[in-house]
Amino acid sequence: MEDTAKIQVSIRLYAGLRHYLPDLPLGKPTLLILPTGAAVGDVLDRLGIPREETRSCFINGRQRDHDFVLSEGDEAAFFPPVAGGES
């Protein structure tokens, strides 16, 4: 059987998305091992996060879409939609 190439990506979830990784200490990233060619949407799928629950995704500080292909060592940050407060 042939080995598939892998990449390691650092993931941070913010606000309401944190409940998908409840054991992760506040402010700490988690590392995911993904197949080469994995995209941002694949991270969401792996973590069980519905795509409509993410408003913004930043890879290495730049906003990216769900189809953006990740590279070894990328740092991803996911944010939910922002809800307004009461007046």
- What is the pTM (predicted TM-score) of this model? 0.85
Report pLDDT for 24: 85
Give me the CATH topology for the region 6-79. Ubiquitin-like (UB roll) (3.10.20)
Rama region for 25: left / alpha / beta (φ>0; ψ in -120 to 50; rest): beta
pLDDT of residue 1: 45
Domain ranges in the chain are 6-79
What is the band of 4 on the pLDDT scale with cuts at 50, 70, 90?
confident
pLDDT at 67: 96
| Size (the chain), residues | 87
Please give the full DSSP string across 30-87, using - where no structure is assigned: EEEEEETT-BHHHHHHHHT--GGG-SEEEETTEE--TTPBP-TT-EEEEEPPPPPPP-
Q: How do residues 22-57 score in pLDDT, each as one tens digit?
A: 888 887 899 999 999 999 999 999 999 999 999 999
